[in-house]
Amino acid sequence: MKSAVETLDPTKVKLTVEVEYDELKPSIEHAYKHIAEQVNIPGFRKGKVPPRVIDQRVGWGAVIEHAVNDGLSGFYRQAASEESLRPLGQPEVEVTEIPAKAGEGQLVFTAEVEVRPEITLPALDSLAITVEPAEVTDEDVTERLDALRERFGTLVGVDRPAAEGDFVVLDLTAEIDGEEVDSVSGVSYQIGSGNMLEGLDEALTGLSADETTTFNAPLAGGEHEGQEASVTVTATSVKQRDLPEADDDFAQLASEFDTLEELNADLREQVASIKTSNQAVAARDELLKALNDAVEIPVPSGVVEAEVHRHLESEGRLEDETHRAEVTVEATDAIRNQILLDTLAEQLEIKVAQNELLEYLVSASRQYGMDPNQFIQSLDQGGQIPAMVGEVARSKSLAVALRQIEVKDSDGNVVDLTEFIGSDDEDAAADESVEDVAAEPVEEALVDDSATVAAEAPVEDDEKDATKA
């Protein structure tokens, strides 16, 4: 088989492939066999019709069409691999020549396909990454303690105008052009939460129980979403949250500690852990931003359009041009980052070990609320395992890249992110430990060791997962 590549633009190529008759022969033999099983020809049993009879009764055209359809995808993949192409979308294939008769000729076809563009990343050690300090203040601990106290607080009715932070039980009606379009009754709402109608916080502030006011606001949902409405709201009661005293009794009620001092010490450790984790997330984001700023990445328009169409179709919003524009921006950014991280993973020679993939898949199955085995089997049946390997490789590439960069906080202190990004020695040890099972099918490996994997895989928060492979 011969192939040649013509670059049409930075993200699109035209692949021309010539397949000799001998290479096409297995597909032709398969075509004869398949057709022989389908046709009824007097004097021959199904599946036993000789090729010469099929040529006479069915025609060479049907045979070669079946053979080309059967073998085309394999020839395309082989040629793309030999030419080191990295396709990002489906090819547009045109067959330009087929064997005119049995025993001679060749198959020639072209495939135009969008590919990952070639980009040159800057030297990692030339990048400077700065994050916020992880210093824990007394205010941080107090805020954490107050949040815990709120969980044990009680709502008490008050005879005064409502203020920010109060809870108001309210009745609400919305009208458009004098016609009621929506209403709710007996809803409890905390002033300042901002999770209902725009302007509701301002309208409720200053209202006492059984007082009513009217304001205008766009509706937040339903068939009239976005339309301006006249909203009438009545505060039926006003309540404040009374918090328990922060003392030793509260520490015993809300935790396993006997004293408030012990509880505060634990809360300080929690805040420190969160801030350190946030440093790792910030370092990852800053690295991604620095790489994006340092290189121009052309994005294949066809791949973006296909992703936007898939997204809008799943939501039933193909005609929503405003939402289409928003999704287009998001899809473009996502594909740009994918190109960048795939290039980074290739440059760093990232390898995904069996245990890393399993840990990722088990964690993902939890997010979907599925049994890990069923989740992985569904991915495997849908041909999605390679995509999952790519996701792990991209995440790992950022972690490995951060090992080559000195990360400092804004005070000039070097930040140690080893807990979140691992080390090269850990990767080497992991590669050695899974070497014997790396070739096992993923689903079989999980079935054999699911109890161990589920027990050992750490339940990390989203911030840690975002950085640690």
In-domain check, residue 447: no
- Whether residue 145 lies inside any domain: the answer is no
> Which CATH number characterizes residue 97's domain?
3.30.70.1050
The total domain count for the chain is 3
Considering the domain architecture, whether residues 88 and 219 belong to the same structural domain is answered as no
Write the pLDDT tens digit of every residue in 129-172.
999 999 999 999 999 999 999 999 999 999 999 999 999 999 99
Please report, for the domain that includes residue 174, its CATH number. 3.10.50.40
345: tokens are 């993973």
Q: What is the pLDDT of residues 240-263, one digit of tens each?
A: 999 999 999 999 999 999 999 999
As a three-state string, the secondary structure of the chain is: CEEEEEEEECCEEEEEEEEEHHHHHHHHHHHHHHHHHHCCCCCCCCCCCCHHHHHHHCCHHHHHHHHHHHHHHHHHHHHHHHCCCCECCCCEEEEEECCCECCECEEEEEEEEEECCCCCCCCHHHCCEEECCCCCCHHHHHHHHHHHHHHCCEEEECCCCCCCCCEEEEEEEEEECCEEEEEEEEEEEECCCCCCCCCHHHHHCCCCCCEEEEEEEECCCCCCCCCEEEEEEEEEEEEEEECCCCCHHHHHHHCCCCCHHHHHHHHHHHHHHHHHHHHHHHHHHHHHHHHHHHCCCCCCHHHHHHHHHHHHHHHCCCCCHHHHHHHHHHHHHHHHHHHHHHHHHHHCCCCCCHHHHHHHHHHHHHHCCCCHHHHHHHHHHCCCHHHHHHHHHHHHHHHHHHCCCCEEECCCCECCCHHHHCCHHHHHHHHHHCCCCCCCCHHHHHHHHHHHHHHHCCCCCHHHHCCCC
Query: Could you tell me which of 74, 86, 83, 93 has the C-alpha nearest to residue 19?
Result: 74
CB atoms within 10 A of CB 5: 16
pLDDT score recorded for residue 449: 34
Quick one: tokens of 20? 């000799």
pLDDT digits (tens, 9 = 90+) for 9-24: 999 999 999 999 999 9
Question: Is there a single domain that holds both residue 164 and residue 276?
Answer: no
Say how many C-beta atoms besides its own lie within 10 A of residue 27's C-beta. Answer: 21
pLDDT at 103: 86
Domain membership flag for residue 218: yes
Specify if 325 maps to a domain.
Answer: yes
| pTM of the predicted protein model | 0.73
CA gap 390, 227 in Å, rounded: 43
Name the nearest CA neighbour of 330 among 370, 286, 284, 299. 299
Same domain, 332 and 382: yes
Q: Report the distance separating Cα 451 and Cα 310, nearest Å.
A: 36
**Residue 453 located in a structural domain:** no
Look at residue 247 in the predicted model and tell me its pLDDT.
96
Q: Let me know: does 74 contact 93? Beta carbons within 8 Å.
A: no
- pLDDT: which is higher, 444 or 382: 382
Residues 357-369 have pLDDT tens digits of: 999 999 999 999 9
Whether residue 320 is found in the same domain as residue 410: yes
Provide the pairing of β-strand 12-20 with 106-114: antiparallel
pLDDT greater than 60 at residue 53: yes
The verdict on residue 138 lying in a domain is no
Assess if residue 445 is contained within a domain. no
Distance CA 434, CA 453 (A): 13
**What is the residue range of 216's domain?**
154-242
User: Residues 176-187: pLDDT tens digits?
Assistant: 999 999 999 999
Does residue 430 sit in the same domain as residue 317? yes
Cα–Cα nearest to 4, from 23, 20, 17: 17
- Whether 342 and 278 map to the same domain: the answer is yes
Is 396 found in the same domain as 282?
yes
Return the structure tokens found at 13: 């190529």
Quick one: average pLDDT of 206-219? Answer: 94
Q: Both 222 and 293 in a single domain?
A: no
CATH number at residue 307: 1.10.3120.10
Instruction: Give residue 435's pLDDT.
Output: 40
Whether residue 88 sits in one domain with residue 26: yes
Judge whether 6 lies within some domain. Answer: yes
* CA–CA dist 56, 41 (Å, integer): 11
Same domain, 268 and 403: yes
Indicate the residue among 207, 242, 277 that finishes a domain.
Answer: 242
CA dist 309 and 327 (Å) reads: 9
Whether residues 219 and 282 share a domain: the answer is: no
Q: What pLDDT score was predicted for residue 377?
A: 93
Separation of alpha carbons 107 and 24, rounded Å: 8
Structure tokens at 278: 């946030």
Residue 432's pLDDT band, with cuts at 50, 70 and 90, is: low
Structure tokens at 98: 């087929």
Q: How many residues does the chain have?
A: 469
Q: Write down the pLDDT at residue 42.
A: 86
Per-residue pLDDT tens over the stretch 129-141 = 999 999 999 999 9
Res 261: pLDDT: 97
Q: Identify whether the C-beta of residue 30 lies closer than 8 Å to the C-beta of residue 70.
A: yes
Question: Are both 306 and 431 inside the same structural domain?
Answer: yes
pLDDT, averaged across the chain: 88
Q: To the nearest whole percent, how much of the chain has pLDDT over 70?
A: 91
Distance between CA atoms of 131 and 243, rounded to whole angstroms? Answer: 35
